[in-house]
Structure 1
């Protein structure tokens, strides 16, 4: 099946001549953790669908200087310590209470792409103990993808997600869904920011949402005329 070109790539081709801007930043982690056991986390930059995982020293601008925050139930977020593994960063945390933990990144690249400001983000839930639904109220990013229902699903089931910005829905948001098989498809969320897709294959998926606005401002002492945001989440289909 023909691989869908990422919406990130589409925007980058239109906006600038540097293909590096097309890449996404994503967190990989098991959707479920175990009390008092180390839980591994990895962060990649590249193109998930085509298994392009850039070497850290090739990441665009200063994206590699991101902070990975852990939001534990009822606690203030803390920064996780990470190790450069060549083509990704690796870290871990040990959950000590049951509940839903969130791993989040929000990183605006220091350098502009022409006159465009680029902001990369990622948000992944980790459920510890029994939990029927995911509660995203504790996390409000500039752009985020919220999984509705369980943190994972079974092959053949429908998966729903909601796109929000600082807690408010983003209507008609464009979202690309990618499977590790190389399959991909672009969706448009409804007026409530919700999209639905069928989990055709088992294994990991990455969802990518993006927005682009002709909004002027200043970033790192440089004027920009437009702003792009890209956000991802990671889910494993059983």
Structure 2
């Protein structure tokens, strides 16, 4: 049933009171997945700011060698093909399935504190689902539906991660945040129809080694993308933000 204009305005007001409009330059990038027809794409930038990095540019820092389609039959590796502003994958999701990607080769960097120089690594990852069906964690830092609409679980290294801040954002920039409980569970009301991208961060200060290089800490950011089929008609996305000029 379609909302009348008055009812839609009421729903819009309620949504705005319980969320926030986020604008401005992105402060911390993410990768996320979107599916359009038969194609699933991986983007790098900020979904809520309508910012997608490009090639030539920051997109070239990615190799994206770890992409998989998870179905009831098992896990199938996917190929990623770099385009002007995304990586196109060789698969798509259907109901009950997931696509996961994890970038383990993004360039590390040095940090200096009290005359001590250490190295940090950043590991972005993303998951795409076609509904609220329960999924099993597979990424190092993961965020999966539990089977209850609007409820998700955060896990790190396969174990529930409590007290993790999770942000949910839609194309207009409207956003909400919540924290996971002791079981890693977090819930959101999802008033808008359309694509939601949920994001969670976690920093592990355990020293390690990657590709023969020592590091002092690993910083993870993972997104979960899904489409809400019902709800208030979405507000438009802001004008596309220009890609970063720093080509690295």
Q: What is the TM-score when the length of structure 2 is the normalising length?
A: 0.71
SS in 2 for 1:68: strand
How far 1:49 sits from its partner (Å)? 0.4
Q: Does 1:3 align with 2:22?
A: yes
Aligned counterparts of 2:164 and 2:129: Cα–Cα separation in 1: 21
Report SS of the residue matched to 2:56: helix
2:30 to 20, 24, 33: 24
Where do 5+ consecutive residues of structure 2 fail to align? 1-19, 111-118, 231-248
Equivalent in the alignment of 2:107: 111
Partner residue, 2:42: 43
Partner of 1:123: 127
The answer on 1:161 being equivalent to 2:155 is: no
SS at match of 2:96: strand
Instruction: Return closer, same or farther for 1:83/1:164 CA change in 2, 3 Å cut-off.
Output: same
Of the candidates 145, 148, 160, which is equivalent to residue 147 of structure 1? Answer: 145
Q: 2: CA distance between counterparts of 1:211 and 1:94?
A: 28
Matched residue SS, 1:49: helix
Q: CA 1:193/1:4 → structure 2, altered by over 3 Å: closer, same or farther?
A: farther
1:184 and 1:59, CA in 2 relative to 1: closer, same or farther beyond 3 A?
same
Aligned residue number for residue 224 of structure 1: 215
Question: C-alpha separation between the residues in 2 aligned to 1:196 and 1:5?
Answer: 26
Could you tell me which residue of structure 2 aligns to residue 101 of structure 1? 97
> CA RMSD of the aligned region, Å?
2.7
Instruction: Work out the CA distance in 1 between the residues paired with 2:51 and 2:34.
Output: 14
Q: 1:126 to 1:203 in 2, by over 3 A?
A: closer
Q: Which residue of 2 aligns with 1:203?
A: 194
Unaligned residue ranges in structure 1 (runs of 5+): 10-21, 31-37, 128-132, 154-158
- The alpha-carbon deviation at position 53 of structure 1 amounts to 0.6
The structure whose Rg is larger is 2
